[in-house]
Chains A and B, each alone.
Chain A
């Protein structure tokens, strides 16, 4: 579903983030991206959602080259990718329901569609009772689950998570991982960049390790590794 062919990324300030990386990701996979800070994990996720374009090489999603994609097509690509962040990125003055509904609102969905689609998603992440609260009234775990609900409400084919457990305590982190597994079982591909070695080791999923802009290790049901 996602292919990277000899991808390099050099930023305008001269920083070489990725160097000749090739990677194939199949539909329905659950992949951990690991490696030290500055290894290129974030650059890789930014290339996949076309926040950045590769300096060399090709990124192909569902048979489409992102470099050839026109700017006005990018929003429709992003609607197929649900993004989850360490800092949640919720809108502070909107309720949980409104934050999740916002992902539908920007696609021009009708009120009827929104009222039909949001409650099941909130139930799935266990927030149906907190739908009317604003993010400041929620715990970190609840905020992250709101973010996940917003990421999946559009039925994405891919979840891109950038250190989603970075601000969560261990127990809450595990709740989130159970939620991700649940989503993954329904067929959604998940790519998760993380430093949480205990989670990576316990989940036994595919692990892609990055170091200095190259892939140092790519193992099915791998472990975090201790070289970093």
Chain B
């Protein structure tokens, strides 16, 4: 294949797209929307999973102590906690450590917490881990009955709720993406069909002159692929800039929430969108050529 033929393919594909401009725009638009939905669902699911893993684990119970509990009472409490069935690990977090951790989670905006050093409102606490999640409620109840304990807290389903949310996002994201993806393929196929229809006379002449099937089909394939790739590119750019601005906003206003900011992972998602747009375009035109251009 020489440069001349390549030039021919691209010229013909371009002419076709301009001739059916409104249909081209509609199919690109559909691809953009379906890929936007797919992209944001993926990022949402990934981030919820990431947040869930950074939030305190569902197996962990925090036992806040009353103020003024003596040191030797605390040591005895630790022994008593070890004997509660299901408990596998226990660690003591002093009020100063707790303040440090809080400060770290606020990152650059830790200055909000200044002034708490003299009058730390945080209590001393134990962090208790159980072998299995089901043991948490029973253990928490026994912990609450110990003397010197002010309050017992555990995940109370936060993690489970987050994961349930991602479950629904996955299902509805897939359904919407599936429907829209189907619509996108259909629209591409229609666009290509219109192009074939507009050029059926020329196709007849090409076949008469001895053009190969490949030569006749290539401009149409290229047209579909270009439409798909354009849709994928626009969607990837929107997701990229949208996500970057979301990242910077969250970092400023909600510094304790950690979102995925690993560029490699984000580029993988964007690359996937681009590839999928291309695939939709290729598939749509292949279907159309198979049905309407039996050369």
Contacts and interface: CB of A to CB of B under 8 A. Distances in A.
B208 A89 contact: yes
Given A105-B8, A109-B4, A110-B2, A91 B210 contact: no
Interface in A128-176: 150, 154
Interface stretch (A13-21, A72-80, A204-212): A72-80
B36 to A, nearest CB: 38
Contact of A78 (B1, B4, B5, B208): B208
A78 B210 contact: yes
A39 interface: no
A91 B202 contact: yes
Given A105-B4, A108-B5, A109-B4, A89 B212 contact: no
Interface string B210-252: 1111010000000000000000000000000000000000000
Interface residues of A, number: 25
How many of chain B's residues touch chain A, expressed as a range? 10 to 19
Contacts of B213: 71-72, 75
A75 B295 CA distance: 10
Given A91-B202, A111-B4, A106 B215 contact: yes
Interface string A14-58: 000000000000000000000000000000000001000000000
A77 B210 contact: yes
Contact of A106 (B2, B201, B204, B210): B210
A172 to B, nearest CB: 22
A103 B209 contact: yes
A110 B4 contact: yes
B206 interface: yes
Nearest to B211: A106
A114 to B, nearest CB: 8
Contacts of B204: 89
Interface of B: 1-2, 4-5, 8, 201-202, 204-213, 215
5 contacts: A75-B211, A75-B213, A78-B208, A91-B205, A103-B210
In order of increasing CB-CB distance, the 3 nearest A-B pairs are A78-B210, A79-B210, A106-B211
Given A71-B213, A108-B2, 10 more contacts: A75-B210, A78-B208, A78-B209, A80-B210, A83-B208, A89-B204, A102-B206, A102-B209, A106-B215, A108-B215
